[in-house]
Amino acid sequence: MVSARNDWFATAATCNACHQNLRDDNGKDISQAENWRATMMSNAARDPYYLASVSIEVAVSPEYSDAIQKKCATCHMPLAFFSDEHTGALPAIFGDNGYLSPQHPLHDLARDGVSCTACHQIPPEQAGTEVRKNGDLNIDFSTTSGERTLYGPYPVDEVSVMIMQGGSGFIPAESKHIRSSQLCATCHELYINYIAEDGTIGEGLFPEQTPYAEWLHSEYAEQASCQSCHMDRAQGKVPISNLTADKKHPHFAIHNFHGSNIYMLSILQAFGDEIGVQATDDNFSALIGRTTDTLQQDTAQLHISPPTAEQGTLTFDVTVKALTGHKFPTSFPSRRAWLHVTVKDANGTLVFESGQVSSDGKIAGNDNDESPGAYEPHYDLITSPDQVQIYEDIMQTPSGKVTTLQMKASGYIKDNRLLPAGFDKASANPYIAVLGKAAEDDDFIGGEDTVTYQIATGSAPGPFTIEVELLYQSVSYRWAQDLLAHDTQQTEAFSRYYDAIENTPLVVAAQSTQ
């Protein structure tokens, strides 16, 4: 890992000196940086899809280049961004004066992504204040170097303070807020001022991602935090520093931050040398495996009702039960999940298929994959192969045109992503509302959705075998194609990665019946 620091921040290499070679009762390495280094948090500034996306926003709206780069560096390159913000310098990502330039004095800090001294310097919120969002980390810049506070969840004694201050230049302090969902909301609750039809940026806000508000509107707000789901727990009491190995703490949160972006992790693993990652191949393999487990064990379940066959028509219901504490798919709107349903007759002959995906990630029958200006509606009843139940949010411009440009988006024309349990459609605020036909679907509710399939089987012999899969992509076909239509240095790089790594959807859940 690269070591760098300034008066306010230090890269993870500084922390790793004392927080490595730590193991739990099962012998698992629970060292903070060792688990963090492969995550999307660590690679937030290296993520080639993120960089390509920002580059096309700048290319399409060059008059707002400074504002776009500033907004997009806030949470992806916080160590560099907040350093510049404090000194009055203009944050920039691209060009000779941008953070990506190796000559930039903040280059190494920027490339450390969402690093230790960003999250652990976020102070607790004052009682009665609104939850901070949009990258408002509220970091203290009044305290001088060598005296700055890093917050953690455990009690701190004088010996620990002396050791950590001497070794890192930071002072540890206990604060329970480090385990709260509000901490994550600072970046994962994001609203953007969009470009209006007249070319100006107004006060209107586009909700780019709202997992915190979705969680708050669900029953999970009383049951679990972001950290309790996305950070594994160490087995038994463990040391959190190799210099204080005699002091062991329970319920330690492993810093593996598993989410759902297996595709990007696979690109980072395959092109690690070129991209300049700090993780090993084993680091990525372990995280990809854990992320796969999260998606396949903790995300959704499928149920198929007993089918009925009458007068050449096979009828059955597919119910998707959501297990997540926020909408799924979550956060960035390039993500989608859909039902792949097949029906075969007694001879094994395919009678019906909806949701088939090609090797390039395109869903057969999906209007949005066929045309950038169209989209597939939400369904309560499916009778034809060209009808596909896709759980997604489709962005629209102020004039109602479908878009994948965030700066051009004023809202969503469709949002039928699976809702967390306890989510009430009727009382949801407009930023997290269910939009499109799902809003009128009585069995699209908090925690589940039911779709009825009525399939014409003609003279095909029964019994029929029904197979259902819930498939997931973090980068949908339309988003990839729209990005690749632009010519920037960053889209060229992403194009090579995208061509090399097949965008195969993950099977989140599967069920079959006769």
Q: pLDDT digits over 84-124, tens only?
A: 999 999 999 999 999 999 999 999 999 999 999 999 999 99
Whether residue 118 is contained in a domain is answered as yes
Do both 321 and 195 map to the same domain?
no
Last residue of a domain, one of 224, 257, 290: 257
At 27 the pLDDT is 96
Whether residue 31 is contained in a domain is answered as yes
Indicate the average pLDDT of the chain: 97
Whether residue 95 is contained in a domain is answered as yes
Whether residue 491 is contained in a domain is answered as yes
- What's the burial of 165, exposed, middle or buried (CB within 10 Å: 0-12/13-18/19+)? middle
Do both 334 and 452 map to the same domain?
yes
DSSP string, 365-423: T-HHHH-TT--PPP-SEE-STT---EE-EEEE-TTS-B---GGG--EEEEE-PBPPTT-
**Cα-flanking dihedrals φ and ψ of residue 450, to 5°?**
-120, 130
At 128 the pLDDT is 73
Do both 249 and 345 map to the same domain?
no
Residue range 188-198, pLDDT digits in tens: 999 999 999 99
Containing domain of residue 380, as a range?
298-513
Whether residue 366 is contained in a domain is answered as yes
The Cα–Cα gap between 376 and 389 comes to 8
**Cα-flanking dihedrals φ and ψ of residue 417, to 5°?**
-60, 145
Last residue of a domain, one of 257, 277, 310: 257
User: What's the average pLDDT block by block, 10 residues per block, for the chain (514 residues)?
Assistant: 96 96 97 98 99 99 98 99 98 97 98 98 87 96 97 95 96 97 98 96 96 98 98 98 93 98 99 98 98 99 98 98 99 98 98 97 98 99 99 98 98 99 98 99 99 97 98 98 98 98 98 97
Do both 378 and 244 map to the same domain?
no
Residues for the chain: how many in total? 514
At 146 the pLDDT is 96
At 508 the pLDDT is 99
Do both 230 and 303 map to the same domain?
no
Number of domains present in the structure of the chain: 2
**Cα-flanking dihedrals φ and ψ of residue 504, to 5°?**
-75, 125
At 129 the pLDDT is 82
Do both 202 and 350 map to the same domain?
no
Question: Helices in 38-190 by DSSP H: which ranges?
Answer: 48-60, 65-76, 78-87, 107-111, 116-119, 158-168, 181-188
DSSP SS3 for 391: strand
* CA pseudo-torsion sign 457, 461, 467, 471: negative
Do both 318 and 225 map to the same domain?
no
Q: Are 392 and 417 in contact (CB under 8 A)?
A: yes
Q: Are 256 and 232 in contact (CB under 8 A)?
A: yes
Whether residue 266 is contained in a domain is answered as no
Q: Are 47 and 261 in contact (CB under 8 A)?
A: no
Whether residue 279 is contained in a domain is answered as no
Do both 20 and 86 map to the same domain?
yes
Residue range 320-334, pLDDT digits in tens: 999 999 999 999 999
217: its two tokens: 């509107």
Question: Residue 341: beta bridge partners?
Answer: 354, 468
Tell me the CA distances in angstroms from 29 to 153, 233, 239, 292, 449, one per residue in order. 20, 12, 11, 20, 40
Do both 176 and 57 map to the same domain?
yes
359-372 per-residue burial string, b: 16 or more CB within 10 A, e: under 16: eebbbbbbbbbbee
Do both 309 and 248 map to the same domain?
no
Do both 220 and 324 map to the same domain?
no
The Cα–Cα gap between 346 and 463 comes to 5
The Cα–Cα gap between 428 and 451 comes to 23
Q: Look at residues 113, 334, 330 and name the one whose alpha carbon lies nearest to residue 230.
A: 330
Whether residue 287 is contained in a domain is answered as no
Residue range 451-481, pLDDT digits in tens: 999 999 999 999 999 999 999 999 999 999 9
DSSP SS3 for 166: helix
Do both 302 and 174 map to the same domain?
no
The Cα–Cα gap between 405 and 505 comes to 23
Q: How many Cα atoms are found within 13 Å in the side-chain-facing hemisphere of 495? A: 12
The Cα–Cα gap between 103 and 101 comes to 5
Cis peptide before 329 (omega within 30 of 0): yes
Q: Look at residues 414, 359, 372 and name the one whose alpha carbon lies nearest to residue 392.
A: 414
